[in-house]
Structure 1
Amino acid sequence: METARTERTQQWLAAHDLDTEGDPEEAARDLMPEILRDEELAPADKLELGLGLLEILDTYWATVELRWFVNAAQDEALPATFWQAIREHLEQPKASEAVLQSLWADWFEDITTVERAFTEVLAKDTAALGDAGDALLHRAAAVLKISGPVPWKLKYPIYTAALDVERLRPFVYFGVLYSFHDVYGSLEIAPALELLDRLDLPEDTEHLADLRTALQEGHANHHRR
């Protein structure tokens, strides 16, 4: 995904005799600190350039540095800008793997950030799912699939709302499945079984029979079975 941020970041890199050549992960480790410690940049400009570098490199380490920066921000405008950019990444036909990994492994697994993150990327748009266009449906599908670590009380209302959207039903199933299989997955057995029943999936759906059996036996998580 390229935006005006991409061009601005490329201009900043060129002005500082820096480039993104070589391994993207190593480039992110070298370049993100250069951006964030540039004293001539205001915090909002550092965020814009950091987001531009994420667009250029599409690598996980860029999301790590951005997360640290945003979590330390004193100005609420910075998280607002950050989350808008993340939503735009998720609304692409193929979401950034780096952004998905960051949400799943960092934001959603951290109890101090999961509620804000999940709200920003999906929960606050729950009421719009029924009339959603492609952009929101792309985002909802991406988030549902990686929502395993999100506390059940936060995601269950979204799972329920998404049942009414045919395109999202497979991703509700993935959400329940990974809620069971993720190390930090969060699941409540009775409502999870109810969701599976309401999804009305073909009996030969991959992993469905094993998942249903495990839940009926009283297991809420594969790793604590």
Structure 2
Amino acid sequence: MDREGVEAARRWLADQGVSQVGDGWVSDVRPGESLTAHEVAQSWAGAVFCADLDAAAQVRLAFGLLDLLDAYWVTCEIRFAYGSAEGRLPADVLWDGYRRRLEADRDCEAVTYSLWVDWFEDRATAATAFAEVLGNDIDRVVRERSAHLLRRARRVLECSGPVRWAVKEPTYRTAARLPALHSCLFRALRAGFHDVNGDLEPAAALALLDRLDLPADTQHLAELRHVLAAGHRNHYLSPRAWDDAVGSGPHG
């Protein structure tokens, strides 16, 4: 957590008449009513990008607000601002904000959910977002193997199902050189098959799966291998394939 950013966000909210009381929030606009962090985010996060600050400072303030509220809606406002007609946000500040939170030793569900459903499911932004949060750094991850880089890699891989296979395969192949990432690579491949917008190439995915050192009793390993060997790309394109794979097992 960026404590300085959190305090800056807290001061900014106070200037808007919003303050924290116990586990909730109160606003001068709605006196006597307790607000949740999500309600605060919905009502005020977008205003960050109207603040009398340069674009980089607005992004830093938004991330401070995200750390303070831990509300997914703050990431939505960041994404809206990125695509607004007024111009895109400074990329270095934007992606540094994501990377730092992906590396932090604290829950970052709002950040990974944001990557998954907002950045990775959008073909217009998926390649850039994936490169910025992992692809550009995967060689460093494998070389250094530091706890914070591995934490970021695991988190990104596990929500990367919707990223196009051609974009993510080189990163997957490099990550496979590191046994510490094999379990999350398996989950990444499984998500590539099961996600509504998941994407993979069956033959290449199967070849990668066969490189992973996984416990023999890994749940769904046999089913994933079966559907990939049969040439299925996605559960929603072949809705019976997974059930058929389950049924073909030793207990089917």
TM over 0.5: yes
Unaligned ranges ≥5, structure 1: none
Pair 1:47-2:93 in alignment: no
Alpha-carbon separation, structure 1, partners of 2:216 and 2:229: 16
Counterpart in the other structure of 2:32: none
With CA pairs under 8 Å and 6+ residues apart, which has the higher RCO, 1 or 2?
1
Instruction: Decide whether the 8 Å contact of 1:129 with 1:165 is kept in 2.
Output: no
Number of residue pairs the alignment of both structures matches: 223
Structure 1 residues 151 and 14: CA distance shift in structure 2, 3 A: same
1:75 is displaced (CA, Å) by 6.3
SS of alignment partner, residue 19 of structure 1: strand
1:219 is displaced (CA, Å) by 1.0
Alpha-carbon separation, structure 2, partners of 1:146 and 1:75: 24
Unaligned ranges ≥5, structure 2: 26-34, 239-252
| TM-score of the two chains, using structure 2 as the length reference | 0.83
Runs of 4+, deviation exceeding 6 Å: none
Pair 1:91-2:103 in alignment: yes
Q: Which has the higher helix share?
A: 1
Post-superposition CA distance 1:39-85 (Å, at most 9, x none): x3333332222111111011111000011112336366x22101101
Counterpart in the other structure of 1:157: 170
Letter matched to residue 10 of structure 2: Q
Q: Which has the higher strand share?
A: 2
Structure 2 counterparts to residues 77-88 of structure 1, below 5 A? 78-88=90-100
Identity of aligned residues (%): 39
SS of alignment partner, residue 223 of structure 1: coil
Counterpart in the other structure of 1:181: 194
SS of alignment partner, residue 31 of structure 1: helix
Counterpart in the other structure of 2:160: 147
Counterpart in the other structure of 1:15: 15
1:123 is displaced (CA, Å) by 0.3
Alpha-carbon separation, structure 1, partners of 2:148 and 2:18: 34
Letter matched to residue 43 of structure 1: A
What do you get for the CA RMSD once the two structures are aligned? 1.6
Alpha-carbon separation, structure 1, partners of 2:188 and 2:158: 5
